[in-house]
Structure 1
Amino acid sequence: MTDLATLRGKYIAAISASKDEAALEDVRLAALGKKGEISLKMRELGQMAPEDRQSFGAALNVLKDEIDAALRAAKAGLADAALNERLKTEWLDVTLPGRPRRMGTIHPVSQVMDELTAIFADIGFAVAEGPQVESDWFNFDALNIPPEHPARQEHDTFFMNRAPGDARPPHVLRTHTSPVQIRAMAAQGAPIRVIAPGRVYRMDMDQTHTPMFHQVEGLCIDRDISMANLKWTLEEFCRAFFEVPSVELRFRASHFPFTEPSAEVDIRYSNVGGQLKIGEGDKWMEILGSGMVHPKVLTAAGVDPNEWQGFAFGMGIDRLAMLKYGIPDLRAFFESDLRWLRHYGFAALDMPDLAGGLSG
């Protein structure tokens, strides 16, 4: 037992004298490693008499546990001391404001889509969607667009490629969202009130045209619908969208294959010192096309034109954004210039709201 007391004193003193974890590890190996002194003592138990083995073995286990506990405590103490030293030199003022992180912005087109959706929802219009790759029938035939119409030529419309011998009907990148109206009427029937916002494609490129742009079309089919209902709907939309107390619209007779009668719609505005003001002034600007849905279009969608009638309209979402937010060039919408997006973009929480103002 005297030997055990000597070992205890030796290793407790060595543990206390250790200045780092490496020194502690050397002490552990010397005492408890495979060839450590205490480990070797454990091997001697088999050579002892049974009565001596029981008492010596118990004392040896106590010593082993004590040395192990002392090693763990010393290691924890060294870790705490190292942490305290780090805290003396490394510190953080938690009262300082956080580092600014650049946030993304909502694209003006997405913002305007949300705005007009909120406005038309308030009037009672649902949102309808359809495919961007559309069949020739939905994009043209069902809309009463004749085969000789310029829009059905390759210089105006993107046609999908067909391999030689492929006799399937042609498909196109939709040139307007009017096919969505056909699909909505075919699926839902009448009465119906929907808007169809989305991407459309035409072969055009200048300051106010791009090959891909955004359009919203509206459709209202019911009994006893007239141009008066169309005029009220468009006036309410323009007044809410441009956030002005009143607007004045001018309807000019026009021609669209899918409406009869058809009308181009102008809005009164002024431009003083480069500032555009909607609803006042002596100038007129065309903003959309509209009319009463042609009976052939209703028939193509499975709606009886002898029982139902209604109006439709279409306008460019990108141009609406240009008018409202003073954006001069349509091409910049799709150039992914971060400087432009940061200037004209909207904060993620600027949700359009009729009560709080649509501009965010």
Structure 2
Amino acid sequence: MNTIRVGVNGYGVIGKRVADAVLLQSDMDLVGVADIATDWRIKSAANRLPVFASTIEAQQAMRGADVPAQGVLDDLLAQCDVVVDTTPKHVAAGNLERYRALGVKAVLQGGESHSTTGHSFVAQANYASAIGRDSTRVVSCNTTSIVRILGALDAAGLLLRARGVLIRRATDPWESHLGGIMNTMVPEPTIPSHQGPDAQTVLPGLDVVTIAAKGAHTQTHSHYWTLQLTREATRDEVLDALRAAPRIAFIRMSDGLVALNSTVELMRDLGRPRGDMWEVAVWEDLVTVNGSEAYLAYQVYNEAIVVPETIDAIRALTGTVPDAATSIRLTDESLGMRQDFLTPAEEPDHDR
């Protein structure tokens, strides 16, 4: 089987992680990464990856900064089957027609609207509907977590409706010197917040409402959910539904994982690249079921959670792997994803 030739346009928080994940896939080749920057980020990339300039102006700037650009974006695209666009919000939408004109399939990120591609993607929910398309949009970090968690319960026939509160990080850690929220919390100005309707672009039948606020921290998001179940259920039934789904891992306060920072530190101790957590981390000892109501809390590592979805989206667009379970297994094994960070266990069968 021929490997999928992949380019990454935008070498920021998501782009650099996607590039490294592509390098780990036996069925993909990373052609290169493109950007307009000439600072430490792209210089570090140039030490180990082929670098291209996203514009003519950027190419000139890279030459002046001694960044060895191998060409411009069109030179990169001419060698690619798929481009992953991780440029800032709304930039990718303007690039899409260029990709289509060159016959290059495109994976966009959650900063773009659903209407840009007409398809939004989470591997466990709608992989099949992306097969052969010219483009898709991997939904945002929070929306990805919602589809993983609520989708697992919905697939088990347990979920009737969901109401969630999200406490979002103020900014990415590497940008915290540029400003952010200090000593306050800022509610999003509308209810529902955008994450619930966004999840419905992937799971249209989901009865979900989200409320969100930005907090005065820079690492990861936290979610709190009140769930109306379809019937009276036990706690074990809810946990089993979550365990049957991919990319959900369990943490416990009884292990000392009592706050967002402790989980971030755990990822570093596990040797995760950049301290990344690609899974949704559910506090197992907080999962509570009372008759037909359930309550849970979980953590979302916003810098990393969409990376495995992006890898699966590449396979879906090219049609090289025809089913979600196989692609998810390939991706998760390459990254070393876990179902429990502290207790090794036999991985579940996700062929469902």
Superposition TM-score, scaled by structure 2 size: 0.30
* Larger helix share, 1 or 2: 1
Which structure has the greater CA radius of gyration?
A: 1
TM-score by length of 1: 0.30
